[in-house]
């Protein structure tokens, strides 16, 4: 089933890229495996999913240990509390959910202690919803230049979640993200999930976070 879902996902990505004149090879897929068992994650990796996204540090720690024989990129995509930073810096390759200077400083300290340069992405609260984490779009540029002073952090992109609305209604939020990154010119724009990734690709995303469209409904 996972193989069929991945095949269908790739067809949808190809079609979205064709509509906006992009090369499908530009699109990086992060397979979101949170709350799915190790066995199905292992299957996805063996079928070519080379980037895995997890939302909780402890779940990721247990899961990644069981998958240590396989090569894949490890992404933290959930909200990260400062008391979990030490473990997160140890096990993840990318932290996509950097949403405060306090968190940035803690990541920098822990990364320095490990002799590591931690790749991070700035999470933007593009919808302005109170329940969402992220930096205000109006503060992103200032925040970015502030954390550039931290030597053990490397900012590689921006990340955002659109509101849970009809896919076409997410377009203006993704378009705003592309405008913001037009100023910062970072390599990655992580936006788009199973319900709205096609619109995200049409508006400039080159990293999509896909759970249901790969793994199905949560078990």
pLDDT digits (tens, 9 = 90+) for 101-132: 999 999 999 999 999 999 999 999 998 888 88
The pLDDT mean for the chain works out to 96
Q: Crossing angle for the helix pair 140-147 and 171-184, nearest 10 degrees? A: 40
54-79 pLDDT, tens digit per residue, is 999 999 999 999 999 999 999 999 99
* pLDDT exceeds 80 at position 218: no
Averaged pLDDT, 173-182? 97
Asked if residue 219 lies in contact with residue 201, where contact means CB atoms within 8 angstroms, the answer is no
Question: What's the number of domains the chain is made of?
Answer: 1
Burial of 58 per CB tally in 10 Å (0-12, 13-18, 19+): exposed
User: Please, are residues 82 and 108 in contact by the beta-carbon 8 Å criterion?
Assistant: no
What is the domain range of residue 34? 2-215
β-strand partners of 155: 120
Q: Residue 80 pairs with which residues in a beta bridge? A: none
Whole-number pLDDT of residue 125:
97
Could you give the CA distance from residue 94 to residue 193 in angstroms, rounded to a whole number? 18
Tokens of 153: 């952090």
The kind and range of the H/E element at 151 are none
What kind and span of H or E run contains 156? strand 153-160
Q: How many CB atoms lie within 10 A of CB 17?
A: 18
Element (DSSP H or E) covering residue 149: none
Residue 35 pLDDT: 87
DSSP type of residue 135: B
Rounded to an integer, what distance in angstroms lies between the CA atom of residue 117 and that of residue 92? 11
Q: What is the CATH number of the domain that holds 76?
A: 3.20.20.10
């Amino acid at each position: 089933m996972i193989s069929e879902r991945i095949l269908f996902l790739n067809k949808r990505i190809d079609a979205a890229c064709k509509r906006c004149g992009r090369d499908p090879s530009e699109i990086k897929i992060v397979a979101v495996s949170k709350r799915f068992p190790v066995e199905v994650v292992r299957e996805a990796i063996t079928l070519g999913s080379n980037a895995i996204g997890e939302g909780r540090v402890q779940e990721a720690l247990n899961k990644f240990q069981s998958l240590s024989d396989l090569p894949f990129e490890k992404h933290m995509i959930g909200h990260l509390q400062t008391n979990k930073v030490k473990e997160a810096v140890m096990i993840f390759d990318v932290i996509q959910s950097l949403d405060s200077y306090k968190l940035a400083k803690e990541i920098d300290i822990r990364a320095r202690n490990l002799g590591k340069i931690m790749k991070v992405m700035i999470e933007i609260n593009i919808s302005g919803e109170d329940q969402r984490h992220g930096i205000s779009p109006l503060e992103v540029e200032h925040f970015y230049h502030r954390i550039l002073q931290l030597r053990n952090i490397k900012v590689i992109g921006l990340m955002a979640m659109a509101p849970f609305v009809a896919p076409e209604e997410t377009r203006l939020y993704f378009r705003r993200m592309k405008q913001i990154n037009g100023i910062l010119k970072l390599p990655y724009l992580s936006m788009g999930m199973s319900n709205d990734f096609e619109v995200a690709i049409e508006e400039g995303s080159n990293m999509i976070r896909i759970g249901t469209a790969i793994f199905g409904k949560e078990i």
